[in-house]
Amino acid sequence: QVQLVESGGGLVQAGDSLRLSCVASGGTFSSYAMGWFRQAPGKEREFVARLTRDGFRTFYADSVKGRFTISRDNAKNTMYLQMNSLKPEDTAVYYCAADKSDSLVGIYVEAYDYWGQGTQVTISS
Is 103 a residue whose pLDDT tops 80? no
What is the Cα–Cα distance from 85 to 64, expressed in whole angstroms?
A: 10
* Bridge pairing between strands 119-124 and 92-99: antiparallel
The string over 24-49, giving b where at least 16 C-beta atoms fall within 10 Å of a residue's C-beta and e elsewhere, is: beebebeebbbbbbbeeeeeebebbb
- Whether residue 61 is predicted with pLDDT greater than 80 in this model: the reply is yes
What is the pLDDT averaged over residues 3-18?
98
pLDDT confidence of residue 24: 95
Say which amino acid occupies 118.
G
101 pLDDT exceeds 90? no
The rounded percent of the chain whose pLDDT value lies above 70 is 100
28: pLDDT confidence band, cut at 50, 70 and 90?
A: confident
End-to-end Cα, the chain, rounded Å? 40
